[in-house]
Chains A and B, each alone.
Chain A
Amino acid sequence: MSPQAAHNIADSTFAFIGCSEVQEILGRQADDEKELAELVEEVPLDSIHFHTHSYFLRHRFIERAYPNDFSQWVVMQIGDHVLGERLAVVDPFDYPNLEDLREEIISIIDDHLSRMSIIPRVVFGEPFHFKRSRILEVPIGLEARSLADFRRVVADVDVSAIYFHMFEAHFRLGREESDFSAWIRTGLGLHELADRIRSINPYLGSLERLRSSLITACDEFLGRA
């Protein structure tokens, strides 16, 4: 990388988009693990997305012990730590689309139940309520043309923009990589940094942690340049 590369100006600006979520109750609920698997199979893909992805939008700051609603519920409400742990390590990053992710979740629950003599169910806790979200894209009027701009905006922008460009763009909108790494690669021509940002697994922490990782990657790159 040449020292000038970090000061590249993109031909096209990066326009940050935030998002606002309204949660919709689907009216389907599971009281035991078998019902959970059955309903995971039946509900719209939007609901799988909600319980595995927009989970992060709802827990922006504090990292919860389990990284998706399914594992959280199985542990906290049923007390089945084994299934909770197995569901917790499902990394949505490993699946090209939501249908594959859904199949993996069903397969894990079915496999777990095949080894059980009883079906674990909620006794004192709350049932699992399936939901989905309506996401509204909100152009927030902030733009970047250089890496320094980008770093400055990422540091202060509403965290929903981090969510939108890292999660929504990639999974629901079916783009190859996140908006951030795509623009850094094609807009700024910084392939090494783009690869670094692409390698950040967004599912391994809170959105604020993700923001920090992005800033660190930019700072290290700018520092070296």
Chain B
Amino acid sequence: MTTALDDYREVSPKGTVDFLYRLSDLVKGRSVVHVSAVRYGGGAAELLRRVVPMLTALGVEARWEVIAGTQEFFAVVKRLTDALQGRDEKITEDMYQTFREINERNAKALNLEADMVMIHDHQPAGMVEYRASGAWLWHCHLDLSQPQRRAWTFLRRYAVKYDAAIFSLSGFAQRLPIPKFLMYPSIDPLSPKNREMSRSEINQIVDRLGIPRTKPIILQVAKFERFKDPLGAIQAYRIVKKHHDCRLVLAGSGIMHDPEGEAVLAEAREAAGRDPDIHLVQLPPEADLEINALQRTATVVLQKPLKEGFGVTVSEAMWKGKPVVGGNAEGIAAQIIDEVTGYVVHSAEGAGFRLRHLLNNPGLIARMGAAGREHVRRNFFITRQLGDFLTLLKIMPLQ
């Protein structure tokens, strides 16, 4: 279902929607084509599914193209994703050649005529070799702070041919001789993951997940991966549990066809032991309503990964009026205002300490929750990101 911009009047800060209409007047009739690797799954696809229809409704000629690739190509770019995020992956010259060929084929097949061509992530990044017209921007959604050197050297050859690059955080960017813009990800308050829910709808979902609502709930929503540190969350919970009768819910996906996910879940089960107040909830990949209901049911939210991308889950939880105790990863710290909308912590002990403090102070939970909700409304809504896209379309010189 397409959401109209006017639907956001009720939830966004005053004047925002009218401002976006006026901003769009400056770029009416201009064209933009977004190119991504997939139509479904992943942050870029989720964003484009909502932003492209909004841009069109505002009078921008917006299109979204998705590249076609072989199984072999997608296996190569998966390795490249891991390598760019610092994992030790071996990528052969044949694999790089597959990348080049598929990018060339797509560049020739797709209609890339537009005032602005925005390439999302690395999979289609090689198409810049065949650029004809328009300003070309590379929108990198990955954390490139510590890439594997050879993988980055390969990709950098393409990156420097763009007119500008966009990163989600300053710390995710690498040195490049082109302008680098910062664009925080956003949440859509009207999407299934964030829309308002009735009490009965929430209860129904939480009951189905088998979580009693008889005690305060500490929630962490994160894939079952080592970097998300579910064992640290259990350690923090045990510190709290000495003083408060509460539950810990660790909800996440990442189990299916993933040996690491299975291993991490098994470790978490072992750490939980026979404690009936620890709930390990396996979610399917797009369990938006379940996550929404869980976040609304939680008393406080914990997001304490050892390493994280932007971690927009923090904004999702704050939008639901929950204080967030988050790890000191750059993306999380960029969203939490320490001691105002939650706490930034550096250890499992720190998390336990802050969670305990919050559960001791129900008034503080309410105050921080309300502040967090307003903070998200003004800084992390999709309307803000729509404004970012319109502004870029205006300020990038026409080629």
Contacts and interface: CB of A to CB of B under 8 A. Distances in A.
B378 A60 contact: yes
Contacts of A134: 391, 395
B13 A138 contact: no
A62 B13 contact: no
B181 A22 contact: yes
Contacts of A20: 23, 387-388, 390-391
Interface in A144-174: 156-161
Among the interface residues A58, A64, A138, which one has the most CB atoms of the partner chain B within 10 A? A138
Contacts of A24: 179-182
A73 B251 CA distance: 33
B170 A25 contact: yes
B26 interface: yes
Contacts of A23: 181-183
A160 B180 contact: no
B22 A139 contact: yes
A223 interface: no
B394 interface: yes
B260 interface: no
Contacts of B179: 24
A134 B285 CA distance: 37
Given A62-B375, A139-B22, A22 B392 contact: yes
A157 B18 CA distance: 9
A25 B378 contact: no
Interface residues of B, number: 42
Interface in B314-355: 328, 330, 333, 337-341, 346
Nearest to B16: A158
B173 interface: yes
Interface stretch (A34-42, A96-104, A105-113, A125-133): A125-133
B23 A126 contact: no
Nearest to B372: A62
Nearest to A20: B391
Contacts of B378: 60-61
Interface in A45-66: 58, 60-62, 64-65
A18 B22 contact: yes
Interface of A: 18, 20-25, 27, 29, 58, 60-62, 64-65, 76, 124-127, 129, 131, 134, 136, 138-141, 156-161
29 contacts: A18-B19, A18-B23, A20-B387, A22-B391, A23-B181, A23-B182, A24-B179, A25-B167, A25-B182, A58-B379, A61-B13, A61-B374, A61-B377, A65-B339, A125-B328, A126-B330, A131-B170, A134-B395, A136-B23, A136-B26, A136-B395, A138-B23, A140-B15, A140-B18, A140-B19, A140-B22, A156-B15, A158-B13, A158-B18
